[in-house]
Amino acid sequence: MRSLDPIGSGDIASAMITGLIYEGLLRYGYLDRPYRLEPQLAEAMPEVDATGTRMTFRLRPGIYFADDRCFPSGSGREVTAADFRYSILRLADPRSSTTGFWVIRGRLRGLEAFRKRVEEVGDRAYEEPVEGIQALDDYTLEFLLTEPYPQFLWVLTMHYLHVVPREAVEFYGGDFQRYPVGTGPYRLVEWKRNYRIELERNPKWAQTGRREVYPEEGQSDDVRAGLLADAGASLPFADRIIRYVVQDESTAWLMFLAGGLDLTLPTTDQFEGVSVMGGLSSALEARGVVLDKVPALQTIYIGFGMDDPVVGGNKKLRQALSSALDRSKLIELRAGQEIEAVNPIPPGIPGNTTRPNPYGYDLDRARRLLAEAGYPEGISERTGSRLELTLDFASQGQPEMRQRADLMVGMMRSIGVRLTPRFQLEPTFFERIDRRESQMFYILWSADYPDGENFLQLFFGPNSSPGPNHTNYASDAFDRLFEQARRMPDGAERTELYERLAGMVQEDCPWILVTHPLIYQLRHGWLENYKPHDFPYGNEVYYKVEPARRERMRKAFRKQPLGLRPSTLSVNGGE
C-alpha cells in the first residue's frame, strides 16, 4: 500500500482503504447491475446544460470532516464546495506526485493555465479563478468541461477526486499520506506497513446526526441471495475493519481456512485443490464457505509496438500471429479462470459483442497469412532468415507466467516463428513501452469505470506513449469515429459506434486479444451482504459479520477436517 492520500492512492490496496476514509460527489449503487451512479456527498445528480459541458452540483449540507488536530479546535468542520475545488485543483498541481492527473487532463477549462500559474506563484494560484471548476457558494459546485464528456460522471467516483481538507494537507505536509482526514464512515487507528491496517467507525457521523442506509431496492437475484434482508438499516455495520498484508500465499490460504480471514482470492493451485467441476469441494461447503465466480471488467492482450519495423507495418503478420494463439490452452493453464477475448471491450459493458474474432485460433489461416505477410513457414522472403520476435513480460519469478510464456513460444513455433520471452521488473517493462522500445508486450487493462470508452481510448492516437495507447496505434478513421462516440450520451447509437470501433481494432490487430479474467473468490458464510463488485472501494460499509455466528463456525472447523493434501496449500507468491 503506497499512500492514504487520495491523489497518491493509484494502487488497488491504497484505494481500498481511502475509499473507506474519504468520499466524493458520486458513487456506484451497491446492488445495481448494470452499474448505476448515485449521489454520495452531492445532494442529487448534477444539472447538465444543453451543451453537455456545464455540470452543476448541489452539496449535501451537514457533512463534516472527522475530528483531527489539524483543525484549530480539533473538531472537524463542515464540507463546502470550496473543499472540492481545492481537492481537484490539488490533483492538477504539477508539484504533486500523483499518478491520477490523467483522469482530468484536458477535461476542465483552465487547468493548464492553473498548472502554469502554480509553477510561477506557487500556492497563490489556488486563490485565482479557474474557469473549469468554481465554488458558486458554500453548497454549489460548477464544472465547465472543454467538450461534452459524459464519462466525466464516472470519473467523479474515483478516489483521486475525493474531498480533503486543506488544513490537513498543510498541517501534515509530506506526512499527509500517513494521516488521513476524511468524511467517510471510518477513520485510521493504526497502520503498520507491510503487516496490517486498522480502521474504526468515524464517531463524527453519530455526533452530527449523519445517517446512511443500506440499499432498499435490488435485483431479483439479490432477494434470493438475502442481500436485501438489511434494507434501510443504518450503515456502517462493522465497528472496526482490519486488513492484513500477507506476502506468502500459503500463509494467507491457511489463515482463511482457519477462519482468520473473512474472504480470499485463491491462487490457481489452491483453487484446483478445493474445486470439483468448477464448484466447491464438499469439505468447504460443509464449512459454509461460498464461492463467487464473476467476470472481471479486464482484458488481457499482447500489444504490438506499431513503431516496430517488423510487426508495426505488417498487418497480415499481426493477423497471422493472432491466428496462431490457442487461447484454450492458456485458459486451461489457469484452471478455467479466464474466458476467450473476442473484443477489446469485456463482457458486461456496452460495445462488447459475441461477434467472433476474425483472427482467433486457426493454424491454417495463420500459415496462409504468414506467407502473405512475406514469411512462408516463418522464413523471410527478403533475407532468407527465420522470423524472430521478442515478447516482453512485467514478471521475473512467477512460475505461472513463465508457463504461459512457454506455451506461447510453442504456439508460435508451430507456424515457424521463433518467439523469445523477455522477463523484467514492472518499472523497466513500462519504461520500455513508454520509450517505444517494445516489439510485443503482454499486459492487462482493468476498467477505471464501466464504459467502453475506457477500453477504446487505448487505441486513440493522441493517447500514444507515454499515454495509455501503449501500442501507438494510429488510425485517422478510428480517431474521427472515437471523437464522435465519446461525446455522445449512453444509448443504442453510441453502442453501435463502439461496436464499429471494436471491429476496426479486430481487423487492424494492434493487439492479439487473449482473454478476460474471471474472479474466483472464496468467503465464509458469516460474511453477510457481500456482492462482488468491479469497483469495490469503500464497499465494506455494506458488509456485516455477526461475531457470535463467526465464533460458532470457527469452533465447528475443528470438528470438520478438510482432508486436503498438504501440497494443495503450498504455493509461491504474495498477496
- Complete DSSP assignment for 11-73: SHHHHHHHHHH---SEEE-TT-SS--EEESSBSSSPEE-TTS-EEEEEBPTT-BPPP-TTSTT
Cα torsion for 73, 74, 80, 86, to the nearest 10°?
Answer: 110
What is the reported pLDDT for 9? Answer: 85
| Side-chain half-sphere exposure of 270, counting CA atoms within 13 A | 22
The whole-angstrom separation of Cα 429 and Cα 251 is: 29
Contact between residue 391 and residue 422 where contact means Cβ atoms under 8 Å apart: yes
The predicted pLDDT at position 269 comes to 72
pLDDT of residue 273: 66
- For the chain, the farthest-separated pair of C-alpha atoms sits apart, in whole angstroms, at 79
* Cβ burial, residue 493 (10 Å; 0-12/13-18/19+): exposed
Find out whether 374 and 381 touch, Cβ atoms under 8 Å: yes
3-state secondary structure of 477: helix
CA distances to 15, 36, 38, 235, 259 from 32, in Å: 21, 6, 10, 18, 30
Four-point Cα dihedral 375, 380, 384, 387, nearest 10? -100
SS3 of 299, please?
strand
Show me where the domains of the chain are located: 23-179, 220-295+519-569, 298-516
Rounded distance between C-alpha atoms, residue 227 and residue 219, angstroms: 9
122, amino acid identity: G
Please state, in angstroms and as integers, the Cα–Cα distance from residue 116 to each residue in 110, 121, 130, following that order. 10, 9, 12
What CATH number does the domain located at 298-516 have?
3.10.105.10
At the second CATH level, the architecture of 220-295+519-569 is 3-Layer(aba) Sandwich (3.40)
10-residue block means of pLDDT along the chain (575 residues)? Answer: 88 90 98 94 97 97 98 97 98 90 92 97 98 98 96 95 98 96 98 92 98 95 95 96 84 88 82 67 86 90 97 97 97 88 92 91 98 97 97 82 95 98 89 94 92 94 88 97 91 94 97 93 93 93 92 78 36 26
Strands 388-393 and 440-446: parallel
Residue 445: φ, ψ to 5°:
-115, 130
- What is the chain's alpha carbon radius of gyration, rounded to the nearest angstrom? 25
DSSP count for the chain of H helices, then E strands: 19, 23
**Total count of residues recorded for the chain:** 575
Element of type H or E holding 256? helix 249-257
CA–CA separation, 112 vs 92, rounded Å? Answer: 8
- CA distance linking residue 351 with residue 146, whole number of Å: 25
**How high is the pLDDT of residue 117?**
98
Task: Supply the pLDDT for residue 553.
Answer: 86
Which H or E element spans position 390? strand 388-393
d(CA 27, CA 535): 10
The C-alpha cell of 302 is what?
Answer: 499482447
**Spatial contact of 61 and 139, defined as CB atoms under 8 Å apart:** yes
Alpha-carbon 314 to chain mean position? 32
Report, in this order, helix, strand and coil percent for the chain, each rounded to 5: 35, 20, 45
Between vectors from CA 191 to CA 242 and to CA 395, what angle results, nearest 5°?
Answer: 85
Please tell me whether the overall predicted TM-score, pTM, comes out greater than 0.95 for this model: no
Grid cell digits, residue 160: 483521486
CA-to-CA separations, 365 to 204, 321, 323, 359, 506, in angstroms, rounded:
65, 10, 7, 8, 15
Per-residue model confidence (pLDDT) at position 520 = 84
The CATH class that applies to domain 23-179 reads alpha beta
Specify whether the CB–CB gap between 183 and 61 falls below 8 A: no
Inter-CA distances, 332 with 164, 335, 347, 475, 525, Å: 46, 5, 20, 35, 29
